[in-house]
Amino acid sequence: MAVNEVARVYAGALLEIGKENKVLQQIEEELGAFKQILREDADFRLYCKTPGISNDSKKILIDKVFQGKFSDVIVNFLKVLVDNGRFTDLDSLHDTFLEMLDVENSRLRVTITGSAKLEDSILANVKSALAKKFNKEIIIEEKVDASILGGVIIRVGDVIIDGSLVKDLNNIRRNLLSSKVRSEAAYED
């Protein structure tokens, strides 16, 4: 089975468990927190993903570290991933779970990249306009990239709206390089 298909199966099961127990938001937060821990703690990540360490040892560690801090649903889910050798698929599983949860909750994730941090009022206006256009709750992830010089780039799923100054300057440059000047129009003073 391909990784995406595996992620879809596990994420779908987690989504169903969350709906049954009415803990979807808690699962979303805890799975995100666990992914963040893996990202920040290289030793823990290496321990969990090393095939030479026994599954029982990994599950004991998960119990010791996360029992009482995370819900039983997440702790047991992590142990199932360990048992089935799917711990290395956690990133794609988390992304797939969020996609499924967004569909379930009629949400849309939007990435807005600006050359500097945008004012809250601007973000609120963009969020409101997108909510009207797509008729969904909008979740904005803001990124800062000084290389775009000005303006913003908005990414909604596979659609990119590039309103950056660097794109405009590149278009002007391309147009100037490709335009032909007639000889009688070119003259010197």
* pLDDT for the residue numbered 51: 86
* Judgement on whether residues 9 and 51 belong to the same structural domain of the protein: yes
Given a contact cutoff of 8 angstroms between Cβ atoms, the answer to whether 77 and 14 are in contact is yes
Given a contact cutoff of 8 angstroms between Cβ atoms, the answer to whether 130 and 101 are in contact is no
* pLDDT for the residue numbered 188: 58
Range of the domain at 55: 3-103
Write out the two tokens for 109: 């994730």
Kindly give the parts of the chain with pLDDT less than 70. 1-3, 181-189
* pLDDT for the residue numbered 184: 58
* Judgement on whether residues 94 and 125 belong to the same structural domain of the protein: no
How crowded is the C-beta side of 170, counted as CA atoms within 13 Å? 9
For residue 183, is it within any domain?
A: no
For residue 186, is it within any domain?
A: no
- Nearest to 149, CA basis, from 124, 185, 99, 113: 113
* pLDDT for the residue numbered 76: 95
For residue 37, is it within any domain?
A: yes
